[in-house]
Amino acid sequence: MPVLDQQKDTSADRLDEALSRLNEAQRDAVLHAGNAPLLIVAGAGSGKTSTLAHRVACLIAKGADPQRLLLLTFSRRAAQEMSQRAGHVLAQVLGLGSQTPPALPWAGTFHGVGARLLRDYAVQIGLAENFTIHDRGDAEDLMGLVRHDLGFTGTEKRFPLKSTCLAIYSRVVNTQGGLAQVLAEAFPWCAEWEAQLRQLFGAYVEAKQEQNVLDYDDLLLGWHEMMGEPSLAAQLSGRFDHVLVDEYQDTNRLQASILQRLKPDGRGLTAVGDDAQSIYSFRGATVRNILDFPSQFGQLGSAARIVTLERNYRSTQPILDVSNTLIAAAGERHAKRLWTDKPSAGRPQLVLVPDEAQQARWVADKVLAHREGGLRLKSQAVLFRSSSHSAALELELARRNIPFVKFGGLKFLEASHVKDLLALLRFAQNPKGRQAGFRVVQLLAGVGPATAARLLDAMDESNDPAQTLQAFAPPAAAREQWSDFAATYASLRSGQAAWPADAELALRWYLPHLERLHEDAAVRRADVEQLVRLAAGYASRESFLTELTLDPPEATSDRAGPPLLDDDYLILSTIHSAKGQEWTSVHVLNVVDGCIPADLSTGSNEEIEEERRLLYVAMTRAKDHLHLLVPQRFYVTQQSAHGDRHLYAGRTRFIAAQDVKAFEEVVWPPPPERPPAVPAPQAAIDLRNRLRAVWR
CB closer to ligand ATP, 169 vs 248: 248
Query: Of 21-29, 86-94, 168-176, 600-608, which part binds ligand ATP (CB under 6 A)?
Result: 21-29
* 295 close to 37: Cβ distance less than 8 angstroms: no
Q: What is 434-476 written as a DSSP string?
A: HHHHHHHHTTSTT--HHHHHHHHHHHHH-S-HHHHHHH----G
Query: Of 17-25, 334-342, 395-403, 646-654, which part binds ligand ATP (CB under 6 A)?
Result: 17-25
CB closer to ligand ATP, 274 vs 610: 274
- Give the residue, chosen from 11, 14, 19, 22, that forms a contact with ligand ATP under the rule CB under 6 A: 22
Q: Phi first, then psi: give them for residue 304, nearest 5 degrees.
A: -65, 145
Nearest distance from C-beta of residue 47 to ligand ATP, angstroms: 3
Query: Of 46-54, 110-118, 158-166, 262-270, which part binds ligand ATP (CB under 6 A)?
Result: 46-54
- Give the residue, chosen from 15, 25, 36, 48, that forms a contact with ligand ATP under the rule CB under 6 A: 48
Asked whether position 49 contacts ligand ATP by CB under 6 A, the answer is yes
Asked whether position 624 contacts ligand ATP by CB under 6 A, the answer is no
558-597 footprint of ligand ATP as x/- string (CB under 6 A): ----------------------x-x---------------
Asked whether position 45 contacts ligand ATP by CB under 6 A, the answer is yes
- Residues 267-306 binding Mg ion (CB under 5 A) are none
The site partner of 472 among Mg ion, ligand ATP, none (C-beta below 5 to 8 Å per kind) is none
Most distant pair of Cα atoms in the chain: their distance: 126
Q: Which residues of 265-276 are buried (b: 16+ CB within 10 A; e: fewer)?
A: bbbbbbbbbbbb
CB closer to Mg ion, 82 vs 182: 82
Asked whether position 81 contacts ligand ATP by CB under 6 A, the answer is no
**Alpha-carbon distance 385 to 221, whole Å?**
30
CB closer to ligand ATP, 49 vs 252: 49
* Helix and strand element counts for the chain (H, E): 27, 18
Cα separations in angstroms, 319 against 508, 620, 625, 663, 667: 54, 8, 8, 9, 20
The site partner of 502 among Mg ion, ligand ATP, none (C-beta below 5 to 8 Å per kind) is none
Query: Of 11-19, 43-51, 58-66, 526-534, which part binds Mg ion (CB under 5 A)?
Result: 43-51
CA angle 656, 662, 666 (to 5 degrees): 90
- Residues 414-453 binding Mg ion (CB under 5 A) are none
- Give the residue, chosen from 11, 23, 442, 530, that forms a contact with ligand ATP under the rule CB under 6 A: 23
**Alpha-carbon distance 197 to 193, whole Å?**
6
The footprint of ligand ATP on this chain (CB under 6 A) covers a number of residues equal to 18
* 400 close to 371: Cβ distance less than 8 angstroms: no
Nearest distance from C-beta of residue 623 to ligand ATP, angstroms: 8
CB-based closest residue to ligand ATP: 47
CB closer to ligand ATP, 277 vs 468: 277
Nearest distance from C-beta of residue 113 to ligand ATP, angstroms: 20
Nearest distance from C-beta of residue 48 to ligand ATP, angstroms: 3
47-76 footprint of Mg ion as x/- string (CB under 5 A): -xx---------------------------
Nearest distance from C-beta of residue 251 to ligand ATP, angstroms: 14
* 587 close to 666: Cβ distance less than 8 angstroms: no
Judged by DSSP in three states, 325 sits in: helix
Nearest distance from C-beta of residue 571 to ligand ATP, angstroms: 15
The site partner of 613 among ligand ATP, Mg ion, none (C-beta below 5 to 8 Å per kind) is none
Q: What is 577-642 written as a DSSP string?
A: GGTT--EEEEEE---BTTTSSS-SSS--HHHHHHHHHHHHHHHTTEEEEEEEEEESS-EEEEEETT
Asked whether position 281 contacts ligand ATP by CB under 6 A, the answer is no
Across 246-370, where does the E strand assignment appear?
269-273, 305-309, 349-353
- Give the residue, chosen from 18, 25, 26, 72, that forms a contact with ligand ATP under the rule CB under 6 A: 26
Asked whether position 198 contacts ligand ATP by CB under 6 A, the answer is no
**Alpha-carbon distance 160 to 168, whole Å?**
10
CB closer to ligand ATP, 26 vs 211: 26
The site partner of 21 among ligand ATP, Mg ion, none (C-beta below 5 to 8 Å per kind) is ligand ATP
The site partner of 314 among ligand ATP, Mg ion, none (C-beta below 5 to 8 Å per kind) is ligand ATP
Judged by DSSP in three states, 307 sits in: strand
Nearest distance from C-beta of residue 617 to ligand ATP, angstroms: 8
Asked whether position 487 contacts ligand ATP by CB under 6 A, the answer is no
Q: What is 251-283 written as a DSSP string?
A: -BHHHHHHHHHHSTT-TTEEEEE-GGG---GGG
- Residues 303-322 binding ligand ATP (CB under 6 A) are 313-314
Q: Which residues contact 53 (CB under 8 A, 6 or more apart)?
A: 82, 85, 86, 89
Nearest distance from C-beta of residue 45 to ligand ATP, angstroms: 4
Asked whether position 21 contacts ligand ATP by CB under 6 A, the answer is yes
User: 310: burial class by Cβ within 10 Å (0-12, 13-18, 19+)?
Assistant: middle
What share of residues in the chain are helix, strand, coil (percent, to 5)? Answer: 55, 15, 35
The site partner of 107 among Mg ion, ligand ATP, none (C-beta below 5 to 8 Å per kind) is none
Nearest distance from C-beta of residue 580 to Mg ion, angstroms: 4
Asked whether position 44 contacts ligand ATP by CB under 6 A, the answer is yes
Judged by DSSP in three states, 56 sits in: helix
**Alpha-carbon distance 413 to 402, whole Å?**
25
Judged by DSSP in three states, 404 sits in: strand
Judged by DSSP in three states, 45 sits in: coil
- Give the residue, chosen from 274, 321, 558, 566, that forms a contact with ligand ATP under the rule CB under 6 A: 274
- Residues 669-688 binding Mg ion (CB under 5 A) are none
Query: Of 43-51, 114-122, 492-500, 602-610, which part binds ligand ATP (CB under 6 A)?
Result: 43-51
User: 349: burial class by Cβ within 10 Å (0-12, 13-18, 19+)?
Assistant: middle
Across 4-148, where does the E strand assignment appear?
38-42, 69-73, 107-109, 132-134
CB closer to ligand ATP, 348 vs 580: 580
Asked whether position 244 contacts ligand ATP by CB under 6 A, the answer is no
**Alpha-carbon distance 559 to 360, whole Å?**
18
Residue from 611, 622, 608, 536 nearest 571 by CA: 622
Q: Which residues of 70-91 are buried (b: 16+ CB within 10 A; e: fewer)?
A: bbbbbbbbbbebbbebbbebbb
- Residues 84-123 binding ligand ATP (CB under 6 A) are none
Nearest distance from C-beta of residue 79 to Mg ion, angstroms: 12
- Give the residue, chosen from 403, 433, 580, 594, that forms a contact with Mg ion under the rule CB under 5 A: 580
Residues within the interface to ligand ATP (CB under 6 A): 21-23, 26, 42, 44-50, 274, 277, 313-314, 580, 582
Where on the chain is the footprint of Mg ion (CB under 5 A)?
A: 48-49, 580
